[in-house]
């Protein structure tokens, strides 16, 4: 019981610190582990989710430091992230918990998170903090996906796959050619349509809006040459913000309460 209380206290402290950092960063886009929070509880699988939430919260803090270009603080916090992750990853790899055993995506997600954290570590060491926040945001979503796999939560799993797809559409001039192709050729609308979303009026409106916003982003991207212009960046931000509204709406409608 003491261990559980300690975990809860740590989560509360980390989440408070994260909210403070992200609020002061004035960033329109931020990491979100809302779905991971829903998977914490008293079952063995939920216990693992709670540990993943602690790591995810530390990632959010690191992202805030990176957004503020505080290299020393980002380096220190990311070191804690990697230590915690390596410990948990070794445990769940040797003894897959919950529904993870036999799931081909389980090990693949672990490997991807480990690779991403290693890449982020190198960028922090080289003081290249420009896109560290964005990479950590992807890691936070993958951490939630890992928890969904462990808990056998197919509905959340499918939605998080869509969330990761949304994040891969973010314009990045450093990766202009590959990202341009990814945006234009994305199966965004197909994946969105395939989700078993509620048929409430608000959700239906958001789905229609997302389809329209994606088409605008695709058209803007197609017209770009050599780099993404401000109009394209704005188009993505509009899409991302609308996706965030949809996610909050689904949480409010208790869409993720069923597996």
Distance CA 4, CA 258 (A): 25
pLDDT tens for the chain, 259 residues: list them.
444 344 334 434 333 344 333 333 334 455 776 777 777 765 667 788 889 999 999 999 999 999 999 999 999 999 999 999 999 999 999 999 989 988 989 999 999 999 999 999 999 999 988 889 999 999 999 999 999 999 999 999 999 999 999 999 999 888 899 999 999 999 999 999 999 999 999 999 999 999 999 999 999 999 999 999 999 999 999 999 999 999 999 999 999 988 8
């Amino acid at each position: 019981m003491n261990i559980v209380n300690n975990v809860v206290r740590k989560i509360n402290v980390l989440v408070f610190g994260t909210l403070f950092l992200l609020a002061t960063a004035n960033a329109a886009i931020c990491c979100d582990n809302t779905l991971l929070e829903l998977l914490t509880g008293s079952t063995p699988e939920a216990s693992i989710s709670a540990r993943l939430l602690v790591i995810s919260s530390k990632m959010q803090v690191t992202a805030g430091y990176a957004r503020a270009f505080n290299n020393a603080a980002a380096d220190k916090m990311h070191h804690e992230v990697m230590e915690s992750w390596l410990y948990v990853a070794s445990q769940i790899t040797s003894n897959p918990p919950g529904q993870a055993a036999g799931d081909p995506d389980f090990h693949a997600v672990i490997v991807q998170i480990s690779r991403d954290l290693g890449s982020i570590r190198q960028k922090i060491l080289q003081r290249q903090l420009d896109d560290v926040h964005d990479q950590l945001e992807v890691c936070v979503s993958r951490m939630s996906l890992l928890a969904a796999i462990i808990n056998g939560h197919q509905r959340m799993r499918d939605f998080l796959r869509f969330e990761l797809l949304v994040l891969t559409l973010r314009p990045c001039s450093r990766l202009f050619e590959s990202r341009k192709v990814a945006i234009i050729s994305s199966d965004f609308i197909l994946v969105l349509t395939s989700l078993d979303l509620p048929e409430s009026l608000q959700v239906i409106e958001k789905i229609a809006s997302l389809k329209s916003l994606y088409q605008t982003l695709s058209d803007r991207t197609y017209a770009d040459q050599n780099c993404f212009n401000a109009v394209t960046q704005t188009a993505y931000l509009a899409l991302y913000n609308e996706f965030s509204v949809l996610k909050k709406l689904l949480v409010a409608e208790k869409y993720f309460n069923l597996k």
